[in-house]
Each structure stands twice: as C-alpha cells, then as structure tokens.
Amino acid sequence: MAATAKLLYRPLPLFRANFNSNRFRRTLAQCSNRSRKADIKKARAASAALDSVLKRRTRSETEFDGELVRQYVSEGGHIPVMLGEVLEVFSRLTLRSFVDCTVGAAGHSSAVIRAHSELQLYIGLDVDPVAHEKAQAQIDTVMNDDSRSRASDLRAYTLLKNFKDVKSALHEVDRKLLDDGVDGILMDLGVSSMQVNNAKRGFSVLNDGPLDMRMNPQASLKAEDILNSWPEDEVGRILREYGEESNWRSLQTKIVKARLGGGLHSTGELVNLVQSTSGRSGGRQGWIKTATRVFQALRIAVNDELKTLEDALYACFDCLSSGGRLAVISFHSLEDRIVKQTFLDIINKEDGNGDEERFQSPKDSNDSEGEAWSKHRIGGRRGTILTKRPVTPTEEEERLNRRCRSGKLRVIQKT
C-alpha cells in the first residue's frame, strides 16, 4: 500500500520540477491562436457565403413610397406587395387593356387603373368568392372616384374564375381580345392577409380552425382528406416535394399514426403534431418554420397550385398583345422555379425547336434608355425575359411588411 502511494505521489514533484510556466503560456497562446484563426476562417467563409447570396439577389432600386402603399391597404389589412415595382413595370407601356389574374383585395389593380388614364379595359379574376366580392367593391369605388384622371369610357369586369381559365374569361368579355391580345397581365401568387387571418379557411399556423385550405370553397378536396385518407407514401411525397421539409419521414409516420386515434381535424391538432415531432429544436421559431412548410405543402396539394400555375403562365403569354408584358410575383422557391423555367421555355418555343438564349442588357433592347429595374435580359424567338434574376423587395418594404420578404418579381415581354 505504501509502495503504491509512493508511485502515485512520485510523478507530482517530477511534474512540478519540470514545469516551465513560460513554455506553458506559449503553448496556450499557440492553441488560442489556432482557435482564433479557425474562428476567423469560419467567419470569412460565412461572410463570403452571405456575399454570394446577396450578389445573387437583385434588390429593387425603386424608391419605396410608403404613402402610396398605405393608400391601397385593404380593410382586412392586406398590403399589396412590391406595388411601386409593379407600377414601374407597366409605366413605359400604353396600357389600353390590363388583366389582374389574382385580384385579391384589388390593391395592385386600383393603383394601375389610377396610373393609366388611357386604360380602356380592365379584367380582374379571383377563384375566392370572398376576395372577388371585396375586389368588386374596391374597383367600383375607383371607377366612381371623381378625382381620377382617366377616360370615362373604361370598362371594368371582375370575374369569379381561376387564372388558368384566363382565355375563357377574355372570350366571355370580348371575343376579339383573344385575337388582339391584352397589353398587361399581373399574377400575384401570394396568399392574401384576409385569407390567412380568417381561421375558418385553415391557412393559418397560429390560429386554430378546420383543416380546409381551399382557395375555391366549392372544390371538394380539403387538407383534412389528404391527412386522414391519402396513402402514406403520397403524404410523404407532398411534404418532401411541396414543403421541401427535411423531416418529412417522421412527420409522415406521425400523421399516419394519428389516424388510429381518429385522425387530424383542426389546424391546432396538426400544429401540435408538428411540435411533438420537432421537439424543442430551434425553439418556437423552429417548429413554426416546420409548420409553415407543412401548411404550404398541403395548400399546394389541395389547390393543385403548381400545375395550375404552369398552365396559367402559358395561357397568359398567349393572351398578350405584341409588346405586352406579363409580371409574376412568387413567394416560394417552387413557384419561382416554375416561373423561371416556363418563361425560358416560352421565349424559345417555336414549332417544337429550341433556340439558344441571347443575353442582353437593357440598352440592347428596343428601349434605348433602358429601365433601371431590368438589369439583364434574355432574348428569344417569341419574347424577352426582362428579369434574368428576379427583383426582390426593398429593405424598407420588408420592414413595413414582413410577409413580402420572400417575394420575387419576374417579367416577360412578348415580341
């Protein structure tokens, strides 16, 4: 026992005898420097990545006019996104006819009507009867505004239709429109505040309501049907492809397991399921982001949004007159990807043969002065994409309206 104690005790004085405090400090400093250098390297890499993202993002250079935007905020609190940019897109055109494919609360439409005194025909479409009713009232108000400076013979129509049916809408108003074409078309793909804020519609993550999510209340399919009766693999595919959710397997398993207890019937129950799957990872913001992706996936599936969007883009371009413009505001990567790829296909599509893209600056186009928002253009046989990269909201607008922060504006012009 004593021998063991001596052995245990002996290294200590040896360590004390050989300990060099200066050498220890130098070693510690070297370790600290290595750690500091690693931190600096990581910080530089993060900064480079951020710079790369910012370079890819084309911030709008349009001066944000808060007073203008406030004029067109609806009673339900819906704020028209990138209003100044939309007005700028159509400002160089003689806009005799204009179609708003997603009229909503008619904020964009009202501003366009007031900005173009030459406008002779306006058509607003919306598949949501509540939005259609509000839009109709707002357009009537604009039409009866004595302070307007425009021709008194403007014809205005608001129709309860999906934007994929734009051709039949134009035919219903005037058969000649399909031959002559319209000068401007707008598509704002965002869910409006009046839809999100109404818990009964089922779009809100934070307000409990039925699992509905139908844009058209007359449609038969609801989010509840998908969650409680669709095949397990199909539920997983929706979460993976439409929600781009990395944790889709666990969510899929829990959704199917919930069917054994009667299924999911309210947005609150779905949110609770997401919370239990996400755990405490990322705190409140973590599960809210996951829930937002899940709700997005279900909404897209319920309304068949991606296929409808693609069909509508082709139809809208066909409805344009020569020199007419189609502007699209999207709010998530799936939509933006479809808009980008469809625009590329449209301008090069002719008799089934492709054509190489021709990159242009604004000065290369017919507009000799160029347009500040159109940095780079892509020319093709059938038209020109005026936004090689999408235009995104100004920082000022993002501060006013957080829901606009993911907005991306792309514009195409027909040859």
The rounded distance, in Å, linking the Cα atoms of 215 and 222 is 10
pLDDT tier for residue 251 given thresholds of 50, 70 and 90: very high
Highest mean pLDDT: which of 194-203, 247-256, 344-353? 247-256
Asked if residue 262 belongs to a domain, the reply is: yes
Question: Which residues are registered as beta bridge partners of 385?
Answer: 378, 412
The amino acid sitting at 182 is: V
Q: Mean pLDDT over residues 43-63, rounded?
A: 60
- Position 14 scores a pLDDT of 39
Q: Tokens representing 412?
A: 């195409």
Q: Mean pLDDT over residues 377-401, rounded?
A: 93
Contact indicator for 118, 151 with CB cutoff of 8 Å: yes
Domain boundary among 305, 320, 346: 305
Average pLDDT, the chain: 83
Asked if residue 294 belongs to a domain, the reply is: yes
Whether the predicted model's global pTM rises above the 0.95 cut: no
Asked if residue 400 belongs to a domain, the reply is: no
Residue range of the domain that includes 28: 22-56
pLDDT higher at 240 or 65: 240
pLDDT tier for residue 69 given thresholds of 50, 70 and 90: confident
Asked if residue 346 belongs to a domain, the reply is: no
Nearest residue to 389 (alpha-carbon basis) of 54, 63, 82 = 54
pLDDT tier for residue 78 given thresholds of 50, 70 and 90: confident
Asked if residue 371 belongs to a domain, the reply is: no
pLDDT tier for residue 46 given thresholds of 50, 70 and 90: low
Least confident of 39-43, 122-126, 265-269, 376-380: 39-43
pLDDT higher at 402 or 283: 402
Contact indicator for 386, 374 with CB cutoff of 8 Å: yes
| Residue 52 in this model has a pLDDT that exceeds 60 | no
Domain count of the chain? 2
The rounded distance, in Å, linking the Cα atoms of 65 and 68 is 5
- Position 356 scores a pLDDT of 47
The rounded distance, in Å, linking the Cα atoms of 109 and 190 is 15
Domain boundary among 283, 305, 327: 305
- Tens-digit pLDDT profile for residues 401-410: 888 889 999 9
The rounded distance, in Å, linking the Cα atoms of 404 and 117 is 29
pLDDT tier for residue 278 given thresholds of 50, 70 and 90: confident
Nearest residue to 309 (alpha-carbon basis) of 335, 332, 284 = 335
Q: Give me the phi and psi of 25, to 5 degrees please.
A: -65, -40
- Position 71 scores a pLDDT of 83
Domain boundary among 250, 281, 305: 305
Asked if residue 242 belongs to a domain, the reply is: yes
| Residue 51 in this model has a pLDDT that exceeds 70 | no
CA dihedral over 370, 392, 100, 335, signed as positive or negative: positive
Q: Write out the E strands in 76-147.
A: 97-100, 121-125
Asked if residue 62 belongs to a domain, the reply is: no
Asked if residue 6 belongs to a domain, the reply is: no
Contact indicator for 236, 252 with CB cutoff of 8 Å: yes
pLDDT tier for residue 7 given thresholds of 50, 70 and 90: very low
The rounded distance, in Å, linking the Cα atoms of 158 and 143 is 13
**Domain CATH for 290:** 1.10.150.170
The rounded distance, in Å, linking the Cα atoms of 45 and 305 is 38
- Tens-digit pLDDT profile for residues 293-352: 999 999 999 999 999 999 999 999 999 999 999 999 999 999 999 999 999 999 986 544
- Position 16 scores a pLDDT of 42
The rounded distance, in Å, linking the Cα atoms of 98 and 91 is 12
